[in-house]
Structure 1
Amino acid sequence: MIRRLIAILLSGAMFLSSFCLVNANANKTIPEVPSVFTTEHIAYITGREGNQIEPYALITRAEVAAILSRLLREEFRNVNHGSVQRFADVREDQWFFEPVMLMVNLGIINGRTETEFSPDAPVTRAELAAIAARFAEEEAKEKVQFVDMENHWAKPYVEKVVDFGWMDGYGRVFYPDNRLIRAEVITTINRMLKREPETVADILPQDMLRFKDNSDTKAWYYLAIQEAANSHTHVMKEDGVHETWGKVLSVVPPVTLQNAARYQQATELTDQMVRKAMDDAVEKLRRNIPKWETKFPTAYSNNSQYGVSGGINWTSGMLTGCYWLAYEYTKDSAFREAALQHTNQFQTFAQNANNLNDHDTGFIYTPSCVAGYKIMKNDALRKTAISAAETLLTHYDWENNFIIRSGYRNVSNYNGYRTLVDSMMNIPLFFFAYQETAEQQFYQAAMEHYRTTMQYLIRNDGSSYHHYQFDPATGAPVGGVTHQGNSNESCWSRGHSWLLYGFPIAYSYTKDKEIIDVYKKVAYFYLNNLPSDNIPYWDFDFNEGSSEPRDASAAAITVCGFLEMCKWLPEGSADKIYFKNAADAQMRALITNCADTSVGNGLIGKVSHAVPQKNGILEYAVYGDYFYMEALMRYLNPDWQRYW
């Protein structure tokens, strides 16, 4: 069936390309001459600017020639390479000259006229049918008759490709002169090459290259594009038609710090400046003790005033944590008593496991009861924290190894069966419980959760998904999504900061060296996208000069994370210098531009709680207050015992 001349296209021998040559004028990319493999399926398409694959974009004749040229053996290219310019519109200085002339000389693609190739013209369905059919020696066994092909030049080619199952008609019509989009051409080529995974479970979403505009796993073209864009080993399924990936071979460029010079420069951050900021925060906290007593503030303020929360939620432990920090700083018993008023309620709350029915138990009990136990050595608080960890463990999925967003795996709650970046700050409760009980299940759950986070929530460029969806019916990974970010493929800054603090905490317990490598990638992405005033936008989709809101809480959390990671990096190492200087710059920005001593009852403003939901934009948020105070404490007392 396959022409001997170019049997390589269907034999399974493909190529690995790690680099691209870019012609600035043509704005196209083609790989360098690749190495030869014998069993791998190699990537033959590349993304475009902004990590887009553009599935619905028209594809040109030159681009089709380039794709096919990537799928030939190197030695075959060298022997048959075209060197005679035949077309007025195909010059040697154009990016597509070599692949076009190669395909023309092989008789695979013809010019539209004797003198013009029309490289920039979109390829038509008839042209692709002819190109594909020229790879096959066999004739069609069953000739499907289309009413619009009776006298068309491409009729014999269309009969072949339809019979082989490479292209389809639309009932009794083929629409030969319709122009093709990228996704359609990719689908046809994959069928020719027998490169067809059947389901998302057949590929490796945690390792592969992904694109902002190909994140919908239910889209008809999703699998075809991922197959074409990723180099991988494979095995055929028993049906002889579909494949399962073995491992991804695509060479992902390392994430680098693009503005290293900026973070080599120290920022003036004096002890006096930090101490005054802490004094101001403590005084404001003191003034508001009578307002709260046994009550809890809302997660975010309205018009710079916190309301009273209707009950305990994921942020309720943050004010308690502020009280503990203030007590450690001042030794004023008023803060201790205020904290204990809250922990008494948390103890009662934890006695009913139904109260703790999602992923956020660690956020509640670590800055409240764990902190209180570490400071007061109060065994009742220790037992409460362990009890809370036991409840959180009931919400852990041991099949896919993550804390379940909604607490339980239930096919009737599809969106609840997700992991999310926030829970990197919930697993410290597991580590605490392991330290106190030596029960291995706590350690195992924490360790496997952060590994799942590495696998699914962190992209190749160091950015992160907010959530990652799994199918509750099958357990199969589905794809990255968001709840509070700008889009599924954007990077929500506060979510990213949970990683920047959660990973060094995990490292402190495990000394897992893989964390260091992952952390660099995540941190470099953050630093590469941090505005010059050192307060991030609420989402990293937005760059310098945007009018979008900032989120000071992301900066405060990241300062804590950078300072924690610096404890574990070699003295004088470049990354330690970068992270410390970045922490100093953000801390200064928080103190000078975000700390608020006015009539409002929060500590740092310019926090954007949930922009898509239009909640708490450029307001206070109690978690922002807590991590701001923790960051100050870390500067004032480098030996401070972390609560997390």
Structure 2
Amino acid sequence: MNSKFLALISAVFLLGNQGYSQKNDSFNIKKQLDYCADQASKTLKVIPNDGTSPRTVLNGSNEWKFVNYKDWTSGFWPGELWYLYEATKDKKWEKEADKFTRFLTPLSVSKAADHDLGFQVFNSFGNGYRLTKNKEYKEIILKTADTLATLFNPKVGTIQSWPHNKMGGHNTIIDNMMNLELLFWASKNGGSKNLYDIAVRHAETTMNNHFRPDYTSYHVLIYDFETGKKIKGRTAQGYSDDSMWARGQAWAIYGFTMVYRETKDPKFLDFAHKLARVYLDKLTTEDLVPYWDFNAPDIPNAPRDASAAAIVSSALLELSSYTKDKTLKNEYLTKSKKMIVSLSDNYQSRDVNSAFLLHATGHKPAGSEIDCSINYADYYYLEALLRLQKLK
């Protein structure tokens, strides 16, 4: 979590919203953080000593599926451990976080395989550096930012997401917005200033092309490699090319909120509000945890996606700190808290497995990771809890 954001959101809270503070007292955040620590302690006992980390517990199982450092989700587990260190100040978590973070070191000196380097390295080394100021971590972050930048196509204006999958042109997925934070950070901490320009150009190009007129997001945008012209929007993990995939919209809300934090350009803030508005307006579930796709044909029997709720809850807490509209601020805070409470009360996996949450959905069209526990749901849930705690 960005230190400037934490200072700002604390100041915003102190200025008002006393009613929210009083309501917040009824929700025991420390209890939820203790729960996460207990679950993570159980997971530590079953991880093989082979450089892998836990990714998923499939529906019907209580055993983790482990992945190596090349997997796109490899940064979430060490990121969780850093957040637990931040929450508890227990050196146990710092030691474990350092161990699992260092497994990802080869990513900084390997050719970029895809856009996920931000998820992998900034969630691990980035959180580690924020909390420890370890110079070795900083060097790895800077090297990785340069590696990620090699995927930038100046003719298009975005970082290519999947170089191995041409898809009829230069492909960029909405998830890629999350990886821009690595570039912003590097540009401000010793890296090339060009990294900042790449991140801004990617965000601008995405803002102009990646969304339908109602501000719902495509999952994938295909561009012409040479002309940069937009060819079409499509999906990979959503229900259809024209549907609102829940996690995709969540990445967009979080990503553009972060871009505003890093640039202070009001056009990005305005856009983040529009993305949040359509998500909240279309959210029909009473507990504010969405179906995996807002247009899934089998609603209300469609799987939920707790990961989308976790991402949005964290993003709304930050977005609330950037608006002077008291009504909107209160809506963001109230709904974010309701999402976090709902996840805590109804989606925890305490009696099923050692993850934090149940009912996340990964790639339903591929029949992969449906209604299960996934490490990125846990990561953003823990982040949301910490952000909410700092509000208090």
Q: TM-score, normalization: structure 1? A: 0.55
Aligned mate of 1:399, from 143, 148, 155: 155
Residue 318 of structure 2, aligned match among 564, 578, 601: 564
Please say if residues 404 and 416 of structure 1, whose CA atoms lie closer than 8 Å, have aligned partners that are also in contact: no
User: Match of 2:349?
Assistant: 596
CA apart distance, 1:277: 1.3
Deviation at 1:458, TM superposition (A): 1.6
Counterpart of 1:323?
Answer: 81
Is residue 306 of structure 1 aligned with residue 83 of structure 2? no
Find out whether 1:532 has 2:277 as its counterpart.
no
- Partner of 2:216: helix, strand, or coil? coil
How many positions carry a matched residue from both structures?
369
Q: How many percent identity over aligned positions? A: 30
Structure richer in helix, relative to its length: 2
The one-character-per-residue Cα deviations of 1:522-578 (angstroms, maximum 9, x if unpaired) are 1111011112221101011149961111101000000111011112112x5222122
Letter of the structure 1 residue corresponding to residue 124 of structure 2? S
Separation (CA, whole Å) in 1 of partners of 2:313 and 2:259: 16
**Cα separation, 2, equivalents of 1:381 and 1:438:** 14
Question: Displacement, 1:269?
Answer: 4.3
- Please list the CA deviations of residues 175-207 of structure 1 after superposition, one character each: whole Å capped at 9, or x if unmatched: xxxxxxxxxxxxxxxxxxxxxxxxxxxxxxxxx
- Match of 1:308, SS state, is strand
Match of 2:143 in 1: 387
Give per-residue Cα distances to partners, 1:389-411, cap 9 Å, x unaligned. 00000011111111102247xxx
Task: Tell me the amino acid that sits aligned with residue 472 of structure 1.
Answer: F
Contact 2:43 / 2:355 at 8 angstroms: preserved in 1?
A: no
Q: For residue 348 of structure 1, what is the aligned residue in structure 2?
A: 106
Residue of structure 1 in register with 2:39 after alignment: 284
Structure with bigger gyration radius: 1
Distance in 2 (alpha carbons) for counterparts of 1:499 and 1:598 = 33
Q: TM-score, normalised by structure 2?
A: 0.89
Q: Following the alignment from structure 1 to structure 2, what is the Cα–Cα distance between the partners of residues 454 and 478?
A: 15
State the match for 1:615 in structure 2: 368
Measure, in 2, the Cα distance between the counterparts of 1:432 and 1:529: 33
Please give the alpha-carbon distance, in whole angstroms, between the structure 2 residues aligned to 1:413 and 1:419: 10
Q: Residues 486 and 612 of structure 1 are in contact (CA less than 8 Å); yes or no, is this contact kept in structure 2?
A: yes
Confirm whether residue 295 of structure 1 aligns to residue 52 of structure 2. Answer: yes
Q: Distance in 1 between matches of 2:249 and 2:27?
A: 30
What is the one-letter code of the residue matched to 1:287? K
Give 3-state SS (helix, strand or coil) of 2:67's partner. coil
The answer to whether 1:430 aligns with 2:188 is: no
1 or 2 for the larger relative contact order (CA 8 Å, sep ≥6)? Answer: 2
Root mean square deviation of aligned Cα: 2.1
1:625 aligns with one of 348, 359, 378:
378
In the alignment, which residue of structure 1 is the partner of 2:219?
466
Deviation at 1:300, TM superposition (A): 5.3
1:75-95 alpha-carbon deviations (Å, 9 max, x no partner): xxxxxxxxxxxxxxxxxxxxx
SS at match of 1:478: strand
Superposed displacement of residue 472, structure 1: 2.9
Kindly indicate whether residue 209 of structure 2 is the aligned counterpart of residue 456 of structure 1. yes
Shift of 1:268: 4.8
**Is the contact between residue 183 and residue 196 of structure 2 (CA under 8 Å) also seen in structure 1?**
yes
In structure 2, do the counterparts of structure 1 residues 403 and 590 end up closer, same or farther at CA, with 3 Å as the change threshold? same
Secondary structure of 1:637's counterpart equals: helix
Measure, in 1, the Cα distance between the counterparts of 2:107 and 2:269: 37
* C-alpha distance in structure 2 between counterparts of 1:463 and 1:339, whole Å: 36
Give ranges in structure 1 of 5+ residues lacking alignment.
1-264, 640-644
Is the 8 Å Cα contact of residues 299 and 623 (structure 1) preserved in structure 2?
Answer: no
Q: How does 1:545-564 map to 2 (within 5 A)?
A: 546-564=300-318
Structure 1 residues 415 and 370: alpha-carbon distance in aligned structure 2, compared to 1, 3 A threshold: farther
How far 1:618 sits from its partner (Å)? 0.9
AA aligned opposite 1:552: A
**Residues in 1 aligned to 2:34 and 2:75: alpha-carbon distance in whole angstroms:** 22
The 2-side partners of 1:494 and 1:542 are apart by 13
Q: Return the alpha-carbon distance in structure 2 between the equivalents of residues 335 and 553 of structure 1.
A: 23
Aligned pair partner of 1:477 in 225, 230, 245:
230
The 3-state SS of whatever aligns with 1:449 is helix
Kindly provide the amino acid, as one letter, of the partner of residue 633 in structure 1.
Answer: L
Which residue of 2 is the match for residue 112 of structure 1? none
Amino acid at match of 1:329: A
